[in-house]
């Protein structure tokens, strides 16, 4: 029988415009604005006693009828999005988990997900790797090598992933102190460091 979790896992999930729920919320907001615009035109024209059809045609049939096509197609897309969001709630959302810190170890999500038990971890660090001449990418590295034996190349230190929240549009980057606290609660013997920019 697996041992029970002593503390609640620290989980960082994908947020921002890349998630179905966010796209669904944006689509619903746009659809709501379209309905509000239509109602406003109808009410204003009814109060003025003027033709309702003419301003509606100008709004919805302008640009080759594109707004009308969008207005007709958007509810269908919203229904598909709602069904997808409901299915995502029922299914395990492992693809959205970027990082988990629990009593057994560290899980790094992303393109190459991996769980590293605490017995193998020699340290955890945040660093920035130079991806091109002017671009430095923040990364979370789980070090599998002792501090005094670290190779020159940071890629050989252990598994890594982009720092959670740095690659999603409009997402909030994981605060460094939150990671330090999460690891200190579950594995106080593991050192967490911020090494800044490291050239390989």
Q: What is the pLDDT of residues 37-86, one digit of tens each?
A: 888 988 988 898 888 888 888 877 777 777 777 777 878 877 877 777 67
Instruction: Provide, rounded to the nearest whole percent, the portion of the chain with pLDDT above 90.
Output: 26
Q: 18: pLDDT confidence band, cut at 50, 70 and 90?
A: low
Write the class of the CATH domain 95-197: mainly beta
Would you say residue 16 has pLDDT above 60?
no
pLDDT of residue 89: 62
Helix axis angle for 62-90 and 53-60, nearest 10°, is: 70
Say if residues 136 and 120 touch (Cβ distance below 8 Å).
no
What is d(CA 189, CA 19) in angstroms, rounded to the nearest whole number? Answer: 35
Measure the CA dihedral 28/29/32/38, to 10°. Answer: -130
pLDDT of residue 159: 92
Q: What is the pLDDT of residues 114-172, one digit of tens each?
A: 999 999 999 999 999 888 888 899 999 999 999 888 888 888 999 988 888 776 655 67
Give the full edge-to-edge strand order of the sheet including 114-117.
Answer: 10-13, 97-101, 105-108, 114-117
Domain ranges of the chain: 15-90, 95-197
Of 122, 177, 124, nearest to 146 by C-alpha is 122
As a whole number, mean pLDDT of residues 100-109 equals: 91
pLDDT of residue 2: 46
**C-alpha dist (Å) from residue 136 to 7, 68, 128, 133:** 34, 44, 6, 8
As a whole number, mean pLDDT of residues 170-190 equals: 87
What is the token pair recorded at 74? Answer: 């958007």
């Amino acid at each position: 029988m697996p041992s029970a979790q002593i503390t609640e896992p620290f989980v960082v999930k994908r947020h921002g415009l890349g998630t179905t729920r966010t796209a669904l919320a944006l689509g619903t907001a746009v659809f709501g604005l379209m309905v509000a615009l239509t109602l406003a035109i109808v009410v204003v024209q009814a109060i003025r006693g003027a033709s309702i059809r003419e301003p509606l045609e100008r709004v919805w049939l302008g640009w080759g009828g594109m707004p009308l096509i969008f207005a007709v197609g958007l509810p269908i897309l919203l229904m598909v999005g709602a069904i997808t969001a409901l299915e995502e709630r029922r299914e395990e959302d492992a693809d959205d988990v970027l990082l988990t810190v629990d009593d057994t170890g560290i899980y790094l999500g992303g393109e190459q997900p991996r769980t590293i038990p605490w017995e193998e971890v020699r340290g955890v660090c945040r660093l920035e790797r130079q991806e091109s001449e002017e671009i430095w990418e923040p990364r979370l590295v789980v070090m599998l090598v002792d501090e005094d034996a670290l190779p020159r190349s940071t890629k050989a230190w252990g598994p890594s992933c982009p720092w959670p929240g740095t690659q999603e549009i409009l997402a909030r980057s994981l605060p460094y102190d939150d990671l330090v606290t999460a690891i200190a609660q579950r594995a106080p013997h593991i050192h967490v460091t911020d090494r800044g920019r490291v050239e390989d």
